[in-house]
């Protein structure tokens, strides 16, 4: 498959690029900073430099053209303020979805966040982040032109992956290694029957492939 990942230099995205390229897929990572290109090449991905806060739908669609799947893994990141939570975590996700539809790419995965909710209350930056992610999820889930899956991991850690997870519509809160988030995303890409699902993910006791198979088609 040709798979295009927005936010290609993110910690989860780099892990996913390594997994997918090792599996023989052609992986493209969209990054804003050309200085990150070599890191993507080292991970086995082809870098495309595009700023999703300023690019047009046509520019992003060009990067997506011919892809079998798109993964939105971009984020404003720690240290960013309320404004960029909206322009990146919501706005760029909507732009990427618009571009996927324009390019005819149906399979669309979103890396969201546990607790994402457009109606979430609160005045802190993290509250704004959860609202932005929730609004982006709502937008993607409203699109009949996309075979979407929304993945909402719990607290992300840099612990080594165990390959054992809990993946359900509702899991309760808990931590999950970024390694295992990437492994679940790779498995979701191989499992079209997970389209239309919003899934929470934390560490657990079920092997990744089994956990994805268990939710497929539900």
Catalytic site residues? 129
Residue reference for tokens 């929470």 = 200
Tell me whether strands 206-207 and 164-168 are parallel, antiparallel or unpaired. Answer: antiparallel
Helices within 104-171 (DSSP H only) = 125-141
- Six-digit token string for 62: 């060009």
Torsions phi, psi of 214, nearest 5?
A: -65, -35
- Six-digit token string for 96: 């990427």
Gyration radius of the chain's alpha carbons: 16
Secondary structure (3-state) at 180: helix
Residue reference for tokens 């932005």 = 132
Measure the CA–CA gap between 33 and 51, rounded to whole angstroms: 8
Helices within 142-201 (DSSP H only) = 178-189
User: Residue 142 carries which DSSP code?
Assistant: T
Q: How many Å is the maximal CA-CA distance in the chain?
A: 45
- Six-digit token string for 106: 């149906």
């Amino acid at each position: 498959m040709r798979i295009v990942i927005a936010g290609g230099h993110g910690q989860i995205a780099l892990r996913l690029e390594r997994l997918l390229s090792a599996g023989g897929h052609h992986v493209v990572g969209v990054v804003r900073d050309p200085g990150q290109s070599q890191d993507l090449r080292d991970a086995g991905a082809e870098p495309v430099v595009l700023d999703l806060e300023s690019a047009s739908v046509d520019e992003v669609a060009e990067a997506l053209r011919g892809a079998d799947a798109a993964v939105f893994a971009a984020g404003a990141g720690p240290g960013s303020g309320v404004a960029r939570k909206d322009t990146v975590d919501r706005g760029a996700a909507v732009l990427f979805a618009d571009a996927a539809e324009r390019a005819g790419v149906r399979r669309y995965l979103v890396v969201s966040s546990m607790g994402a909710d457009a109606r979430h209350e609160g005045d802190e930056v993290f509250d704004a982040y959860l609202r932005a992610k929730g609004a982006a999820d709502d937008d993607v889930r409203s699109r009949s032109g996309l075979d979407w899956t929304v993945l909402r991991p719990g607290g992300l850690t840099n612990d080594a992956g165990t390959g054992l997870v809990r993946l359900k519509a509702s899991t309760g809160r808990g931590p999950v290694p970024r390694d295992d988030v990437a492994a679940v995303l790779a498995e979701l890409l191989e499992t079209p029957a997970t389209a239309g699902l919003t899934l929470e993910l934390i560490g657990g006791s079920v092997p990744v492939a089994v956990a994805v198979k268990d939710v497929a088609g539900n």
